Amino acid sequence: VHRLDRDSSGVLVMGRTQASTLLLHSIFREKTSGATYT
């Protein structure tokens, strides 16, 4: 359920091309992604 009346947090990452989608899949599968908080 997507509610527009509630605050949200987090991020949604999507590849715009097949190559970038495959790269993102690889990064998340190998758990080599990281987070930076500012």
**CA–CA dist 27, 21 (Å, integer):** 10
CB–CB of 22/29 below 8 Å?
A: no
What's the token pair of residue 21?
């989608």
Q: Answer yes or no: 7 catalytic.
A: no
Q: Say which of 1, 2, 4, 5 is annotated catalytic.
A: 5
- Catalytic residue numbers read 5
